[in-house]
């Protein structure tokens, strides 16, 4: 099991702004399928190199994160992966041009996977010691037996984990934008 997070080589100027208010980012942390009629919209305000931007497969924003059309096509053929995720249509605006075919990952599975006794965490809000936590160090439970591709951590909904089989798939397909070498 691996934490699903941004790669070190993802440029800071490639962070998108989330331009759609119809789906708040918190809705995507509930692990429930959403009914959405329109594509979500993301934009980069600065002029950037489209060629370099489109060399990545995973994109970050101030709202939900999303994947490239290439990665969406690769993943949409995997029925087991699609049991864990809803792919939501997204468009991006870069250098005043609209690009389609992007997908937001709405993760539908949640698993208990963080060992709270071995991890280093503190409450985000002092007066809620049993509330949401900030993790300085995460240690996974050794006895997780669920068969999954990608999931949210029950102990911290903001953290996403991927299985070794998904990580291997990403390595084989040369997916860029996700840290695969933890």
Domain ranges of the chain: 10-108
**Per-residue confidence (pLDDT) for residue 20, from 0 to 100:** 76
- Burial-class residue 164 by CB neighbours within 10 Å (0-12, 13-18, 19+): exposed
Strand boundaries in the chain, DSSP class E: 2-3, 17-18, 40-44, 58-59, 66-67, 85-94, 97-107, 110-111, 120-123, 133-137, 150-153, 156-162
Is residue 179 within 8 Å of residue 5, measured between CB atoms?
A: yes
Measured distance CA(37)–CA(161) in Å, rounded: 28
Measured distance CA(114)–CA(123) in Å, rounded: 15
Cα 126 to its chain centre, rounded Å, is 28
**Per-residue confidence (pLDDT) for residue 162, from 0 to 100:** 93
The values of phi and psi at residue 102, to 5°, are: -80, 160
**Per-residue confidence (pLDDT) for residue 182, from 0 to 100:** 56
DSSP 116: T
Averaged in consecutive runs of 10 residues, what is the pLDDT profile of the chain (182 residues)? 88 90 77 91 94 94 92 92 94 96 95 89 79 82 89 90 93 92 63
- Which candidate, 122, 124, 111, places its Cα nearest to that of 157? 111
Is residue 54 within 8 Å of residue 19, measured between CB atoms?
A: no
The values of phi and psi at residue 31, to 5°, are: 60, 40
Query: Structure pTM?
Result: 0.87
């Amino acid at each position: 099991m691996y934490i699903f997070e941004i790669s070190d080589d993802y440029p800071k100027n490639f962070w998108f702004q989330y331009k759609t208010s119809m789906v708040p980012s918190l809705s995507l942390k509930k692990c429930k399928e959403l009914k959405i009629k329109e594509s979500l919209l993301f934009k980069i305000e600065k002029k950037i190199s489209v060629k370099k931007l489109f060399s990545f497969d995973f994109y970050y924003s101030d709202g939900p994160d999303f994947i490239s059309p290439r990665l969406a096509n690769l993943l949409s053929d995997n029925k087991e992966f699609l049991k864990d995720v809803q792919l939501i249509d997204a468009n991006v605006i870069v250098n005043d041009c609209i690009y389609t075919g992007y997908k937001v990952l709405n993760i539908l599975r949640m698993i208990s996977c963080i060992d709270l006794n071995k991890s280093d965490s503190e409450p985000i809000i002092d007066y809620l010691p049993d509330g949401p936590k900030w993790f300085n160090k995460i240690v996974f439970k050794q006895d997780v037996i669920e068969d999954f591709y990608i999931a949210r951590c029950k102990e911290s909904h903001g953290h996403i984990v991927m299985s070794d089989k998904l990580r291997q798939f990403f390595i084989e397909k040369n997916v860029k934008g996700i840290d695969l070498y933890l």
